[in-house]
Structure 1
Amino acid sequence: MSEELLEKAQTLAPGNPNKSTKLFGGEASGILNWNDIRYPHYYRIYKDLVGKYWQADEVNLSSDVKQFATLSEKEQDAFLKIIGLLSTLDGPQTRTALLLSLYATDPSVQSILAVIAQQEAVHNESYSYVLSSVTDFDKQTESFETGRRDPILLRRNQRISEVYNEFTSTPTIENVLKTLVYTSLLEGVFFYSGFAFFYNLARNNKMVGTSTMISYINRDELGHSRFIGELFRATLTENPEYNTKEFTDWVYDQFRYAVEQETEWSHYVLEGIDGINLTEMDAYIKYRANKMLRMLGLSEIYPEHTDNPMKWIRAYVDNFDGTKTDFFEQKSRQYTKTSDLNGFDDL
C-alpha cells in the first residue's frame, strides 16, 4: 500500500477540469460550479449547513446568570468540567477542518469544510460566552485548563491527539481516513454525555439558556457527522486499496476504545448528578457508537444497543420530525432559515 504524501491542493489551476477527478489527491481547476460537482448531493449538505447560522451572544442567558449560583456543588463542578471538555474538543476541530480542506482537491469539499470550521469556531466562542456570563474569570480559566490538566480527560483525548497530529505531520490518504474516523467519533460520540448533562438540567428547569445554546451546537454536530460519514465513504470508495480487513478492524478497535473512554469520563463527571442514570448513559454511548459506525458504512458492534435508551434527549434538539419546542419556555428552539432541505436523523 502506497504511503505517498498528499500535496496541498492548488488554489487555481485552469488547466485542470472544474469537476474534480478525486476528493483527495486528484486534479481540479479550483473553480467551483455547484451545478457540476463530483458528488451533486454535497450541495444539499452545504445548503443545510449554511442555513443554520447563529451567533453565541444572541442567546439569552439572563436567567442562567441568576441560576448558576443555585446549582448544587456537584452540578457546578460538572458544568465547568464539561464546558472544559467541549472546548478541548471543539477548539482543534476548527483547525482540523481547515487542514483537511487544504488537501482536498474537490472545491465543493473545501467549501463545506470551510463552513464546518466556521461553525466550530462559533461553538468554541459560545463556551467562553457561557462561562463569562455565569462565573468569574478565575473559574473560567480553570474550566479551560481542564483539557490540559485533568488526567481522565488527558487519557481520554490521547488518541485523538495522536491521530490528528499524525495527519498534520504525514498527510497521506490513510491518515485522512483515520482523521475522518476520529472526527466522526468526536462529533458523534464524545460530545454526547456532556450534551445530556445540560439537557438534564433543562428538563429540571435549570440553565435553560445554556441548554438552548447546546442544542444549536448539537444540531450543527449532527450536520457535521452526516457530511464526515459521506466524505469517509466516498474517499474509501475512491481509494479501494485501503478498504481492507486490517483497516476495518482498526476502525472497530478505535470505536471500542472510544466507548470505554467516554464511559469512564461520563462516570467521572456525572456520578451523583440528579436525574442522570449512568446505566442508561452507558447504553446511550454504545447506541451513539452504533449510529456513527452506520454513517461510516460499517456494521454495529453493540447489537443489544440499537434503540435510544434516553429518548427524552430528543426533545432538546432538532431531528427529522421537525422543530422541537422547549418545554419550559414553550417556544421554538430552532434557529435556522426556512428551507426544504432541513431535517436530520434522530439522535
Structure 2
Amino acid sequence: MIRLNKRQHDPTTSYKSINWNEVEDMVDKLTWEKLTSQFWLDTRMVPSNDLSDWSKLSEAEKTLFNKVFGGLTMLDTLQGEDGNAQILKDAKTQHEIAVLTNIQFMEQVHAKSYSTIFSTLCSPAEINEIFRWTEENKYLQYKANVIRDIYLNGTPLQKKATSVLLESFLFYSGFYAPLWYMGNGKMVNVAEIIRLILRDESVHGTYIGYKFRLGMDELADEERQEMTDWVYDLLLDLYQNESRYTEELYDEVGWSENVKVFLKYNANKALMNLGLNPFFSETVEDVDPIVMNGISTTTSNMDFFSSVGNGYLLSDVETMKDSDYDF
C-alpha cells in the first residue's frame, strides 16, 4: 500500500515550539508568506453594489448564479471540514501543519463568502431553496461522496491528489459564470470575491501538488505508476460527472460546451500541479476569451483604502510554478 510516513508522537521527548528561523522546506515558509500577504475577509466586500446588475438578469441567469454558488459552497465546506483536516494528519513538519491550517481556515472563509452573496441578492426563502437543491442534486452529491470517501479512507498521496483535483479543476464549473459576467463588465463586485477565492485556490493547489510530488519521488517505479494510473482514473470519473453537472447548470443559457472546454483546460492545470502530463487537448487558446478576460482584468471596485485594497494586489491566477517561490 502506498503511504507516506506520519509524524510520530514520542512521549519521552520534549514538545517542540515551531521555529520559523529553522525551516526544513523553504516552500513552506514562502507559501505561508504568500497566503498571509493576500489575506482577506468577505465582510470587507460589497456585493450590494451589484444589485442594479442583478435586477437586469433573467430568471434563468439568476437561477444559474444561485446554483453555481450553492455548489461551490458545498465544495468549500468539504475542503474546510474534511479535506484539509485529513491532509493535516499526514503532515511531516510543524511548518507544513501551519500552512495547511491557514489553507483550512481560508476554505471556511470561501464558504462563508457565498452566504454573504446570497444574503445580499436573495430572499431567505430563496436561500433555503439553494441549500435544499445542493443536498438533493445527484451530481453534487456524487462528487462530494467520492471525494469525502478518499479523504477518510485513502492514502496520504490519494488525499493530496484529490484535493488538487478539487481545487484546481472541479471548482471551475462554478467559477465560469461570474468570470464571464465580469469579463463583460457585469456583477463585478460578486466576481471580485470569486477572483480572490481563485487566487487562494491557485496557491492551495500548487502547494499541495508540490507535497504530492515530493511523496511521488519517494516511491518505487511500480508504485509511482500505480499512483499515476489511479489519478487519471479518478480524473476521468470526476470529469464525466462534472460534464453532466455542467449540462444541468448551463444548458438553459447555452454555455455548456464552453464550460466543458474551461473544465478540461483546468483539469490539465491540476495534473500539472501534480507533476503529471495533461490528459485533454484543450489549451488556454480554446477557452472563451471573455472568461479569461474576467480573470485577468485589473480590479478596481474596492471601496476602502488599505494595503489590501484595489483588488488586494491580485497576483496572476494562473497556476504557480516552482520558480515563483524564488528560492
Q: If the TM-score is normalised by the length of the shorter chain, which range does it land in?
A: 0.7 to 0.9
Spell out, residue by residue over 1:217-276, the C-alpha distance to the aligned partner (whole angstroms, 9 max, x if none).
1111101011011111112224548833222111111111122222221121012326x3
Paired residues, number: 314
Mean Cα displacement is larger for which, 211-220 or 246-255?
246-255
Q: Note the 1:185-224 alignment, pairs <5 A.
A: 185-224=165-204
Asked whether 1:124 is paired with 2:96, we answer no
Would you say the 8 A contact 1:236–1:242 is kept in 2? no
**Other-structure match for 1:287:** 265
Amino acid at match of 2:237: Y
Shift of the 151–201 alpha-carbon distance from structure 1 to 2, 3 Å rule, reads same
Would you say the 8 A contact 2:53–2:186 is kept in 1? yes
SS in 2 for 1:244: helix
Would you say the 8 A contact 1:192–1:285 is kept in 2? yes
Shift of the 308–194 alpha-carbon distance from structure 1 to 2, 3 Å rule, reads farther
Output the CA distance in 2 between the equivalents of 1:327 and 1:282. 29
**Other-structure match for 2:65:** 79
Equivalent of 1:145 in 132, 152, 165: 132
Output the CA distance in 1 between the equivalents of 2:222 and 2:131. 38
> Identity percentage over the alignment?
25
**Other-structure match for 2:293:** 315
Output the CA distance in 2 between the equivalents of 1:178 and 1:346. 21
Asked whether 1:255 is paired with 2:222, we answer no
Output the CA distance in 1 between the equivalents of 2:27 and 2:12. 25
- Larger RCO of the pair (alpha carbons < 8 Å, separation 6+): 2
- Which protein has the bigger helix share? 2
Mean Cα displacement is larger for which, 278-287 or 68-77?
278-287
Spell out, residue by residue over 1:295-327, the C-alpha distance to the aligned partner (whole angstroms, 9 max, x if none).
11111222x223342243333346xxxxx4148
Output the CA distance in 2 between the equivalents of 1:306 and 1:73. 32
Shift of the 308–106 alpha-carbon distance from structure 1 to 2, 3 Å rule, reads farther
Cα shift at 1:149:
0.7
Spell out, residue by residue over 1:3-22, the C-alpha distance to the aligned partner (whole angstroms, 9 max, x if none).
79x76754x97848xxxxxx
Equivalent of 1:105 in 72, 75, 92: 92
Mean Cα displacement is larger for which, 53-62 or 146-155?
146-155
| TM-align CA RMSD | 2.9
**Other-structure match for 1:269:** 249
Output the CA distance in 2 between the equivalents of 1:328 and 1:336. 12
- If the length of structure 2 is used for normalisation, what is the TM-score? 0.85
Spell out, residue by residue over 1:116-146, the C-alpha distance to the aligned partner (whole angstroms, 9 max, x if none).
0111111011011110111111111221233
SS in 1 for 2:164: helix
Shift of the 182–146 alpha-carbon distance from structure 1 to 2, 3 Å rule, reads farther
Output the CA distance in 1 between the equivalents of 2:3 and 2:312. 44
Shift of the 43–197 alpha-carbon distance from structure 1 to 2, 3 Å rule, reads same
Equivalent of 2:215 in 212, 235, 248: 235
Asked whether 1:160 is paired with 2:147, we answer yes
Equivalent of 2:298 in 325, 336, 343: 325
Output the CA distance in 2 between the equivalents of 1:163 and 1:288. 21
Cα shift at 1:294:
1.4
Equivalent of 2:312 in 335, 340, 343: 335
Spell out, residue by residue over 1:55-75, the C-alpha distance to the aligned partner (whole angstroms, 9 max, x if none).
102111222234323311111
Output the CA distance in 2 between the equivalents of 1:14 and 1:141. 52
Q: Note the 1:30-41 alignment, pairs <5 A.
A: 30-41=16-27
SS in 2 for 1:247: helix
SS in 1 for 2:147: helix
Shift of the 242–57 alpha-carbon distance from structure 1 to 2, 3 Å rule, reads farther
Equivalent of 2:226 in 228, 246, 250: 246
Output the CA distance in 2 between the equivalents of 1:346 and 1:308. 16
Cα shift at 1:334:
2.4
Any gaps of 5 or more consecutive residues in structure 1?
A: 17-28, 168-174, 319-323
Would you say the 8 A contact 1:30–1:107 is kept in 2? no
Cα shift at 1:148:
1.4
Output the CA distance in 1 between the equivalents of 2:318 and 2:12. 39
Output the CA distance in 1 between the equivalents of 2:169 and 2:39. 23
